[in-house]
Structure 1
Amino acid sequence: MAVIALTSASGAPGVTTTALGLALVWPKPALLVEADPSHGSSVLAGYLRGAVPPRGASLLGLVKAHRVGRLAEAIDDQTVPLDDERRHRLIPALPAPEQAPVLDSVWDALAGVFTDLDGHGVDVIVDAGRLGTAHGPHQLLRAADVCALVTRTQLPAVAAAHARVRSMAELTDSAGGRSAQLLVVGDGRPYTGAEIAEVTGLPVLAPLAWDPVGADVLSLGATRPRRWEQSRFVRDLVGAADVIARTVEERRAPVAAGVVTAQGRWARA
C-alpha cells in the first residue's frame, strides 16, 4: 500500500479538496484519511452533503480499537464509501477538535498499519492539514511514500511555503531519500510553479487548475456542471494522480531490485 500525504504551510490552500479529488480519480482502490485534527469532517459535511457515517465511523473509532489491540481489524469498519462501486473510501476526521489529544496515541501504530497493507492493493491518501498543527499526523507524513506541500501562488502563500521548507525536509529526510514536493494550485496566478520551486527549493510534483466552480463539487457537494469530468480541473487531478503513482513506483524500484539481488546472493550461498 502506497501512502501519499498532503499538507499545507498556511490555512485553506485546498488540501482537503485536492486529497479528495485525488482519491476519487485514483487508478487503484484508495482510502482517504482525514487526519487534520483541527476540525471535523469536511468531506462528510461538503462532498457527501451532511451524511451521517454508519456506526459513527471516524478516526475516533480507530483510537478505541487501538486501545484494545484491534487497530488493523477496525480499518474497514471505520470507513465510508465515496462512490457507488466502493473502490474509494473515507476515514472521517474526529467528530470534534477537542478530542485531538487522543490521536497522539495512535499515529505511530496507524502509520505501521498503512505501510503493512501492501498485499491488499489499496493506496492511502492522507489529508494532513496544516503542517505543525498540535496533535497532527507527523508520523504519517514521515511514513509516506510521497509527501507534498499544497500551495496557492499568491505571495503570502509562497512566503508561507518558503518558511516551512526546513520542516518539510526534516519530515522527509528520515525516509530513505525522499524529498518534499509541491502541488501548485492555480499555476500562474500570479506566480508559476517554476518560480515557486526556485524560491522554495522544492520541486513541483504537479500543477492543479484554479477552478472554484469545479472545486465546489468536491468541497461543497455542489451539482456537477456539464462536462465536469472533461474539465481542466479534473484532468489536472488525473494527471497529478498519474505522476504521484509513477513517483511511488520509481522510488520503490531500487528497493525491489535490492531485494532480488539479496535473494540471489542468498541462493548462491
Structure 2
Amino acid sequence: MPSKLTPTSLFEPIDHESVSEAVISQIEGLIAAGILKQGRKLPSERELAETLNVSRPKLRDALQALEERGLVTTRHGEGSFIAPLTGQAMMPALLDLYGRHEPAFFDYLEYRREQEGFAARLAAQRATKADKERITEILDRLQRAWEENDPDSSREADYQLHSAIVDASQNATLIHIMASIYHLTRQGVFYNRAYLKSIDGTGKRLLEQHLELGQAVIDGDAERAEKAALAHLDFVEDSFRTGIERSQREAMAEKRRLLSG
C-alpha cells in the first residue's frame, strides 16, 4: 500500500491575493512534476485548507477548477483524487488478447527494457537523499521477504523498487507513463513473478539483480545502474523464452507418448 500522504510534506501556506489560483498552481505543479500521480488521494478538505492557510470555500473553488480541467476527480463520501492522467493504456479485451499472445508479451518487455535502462541512468545521476533512503528501505524489504519466503511482500517490494527508481529519474513524463505500465505489471498482466521464480529456482537471482540495481542508483553510478536494469530485463526475457520452449517440448513429448502407447 502507498504511504499515507502527509499534507505538510507537500504543500506550502499561501499568502497570495489570488488564493484559488495559488492553490491550483501548487497542485498542478505537483502533478506536472510527477509527485502526485493518478489515483492518489488528496488530504482531506480540512487538512488541506489548514496546511495551505486558505478558507475551505476558496479551496473548494480551486478543486472544482481542477476537476473542470480534468486533473482532479471528487468521489462523494470519499474525497478528492488525482484523475486518470495517461488514460487506459489498453481495454480489457486487448489485455486478455495480449495475455495469450506471446509476441505482445515480448514487445512489452522490449519497451520496458529501454525505458528502465534510461530511467536507471537518470536516477543514478539525479536521485536525492530522500530518493536514496526510499530505495534503501525497499531493498531491505526485498531482502527480508526473500529470507522469509514471503511471495506477496516480495512481489509488492519488486513493484515499488522499479517505481521508486523511475521516480528518482525526476522526469515527469517518464514517471507518469511508467506508472501506467507498472499498473499492468502489478495486475499480473504480462509479468508473472511466480513463474520467474520457478525458472530461477529460489528467486535468489532476482533478488541479487534488484539489489545490484538499487545499490547502483544509490551509489550514483549511472553506467552501472543502466547496465543492471538492462541485465535484469534480459534475464526476465530469457527466462520466459526458456520456460515457453520447455513447455512446448513437454507438450510434444506427451503427444509422442500417447501415440506410442
Q: Provide TM-score, normalisation by structure 1.
A: 0.31
Structure with more contact order per residue of length (Cα contacts < 8 Å, sep ≥ 6): 1
Q: Which has the higher strand share?
A: 1
- Structure number with larger C-alpha Rg: 2
Q: Which has the higher helix share?
A: 2
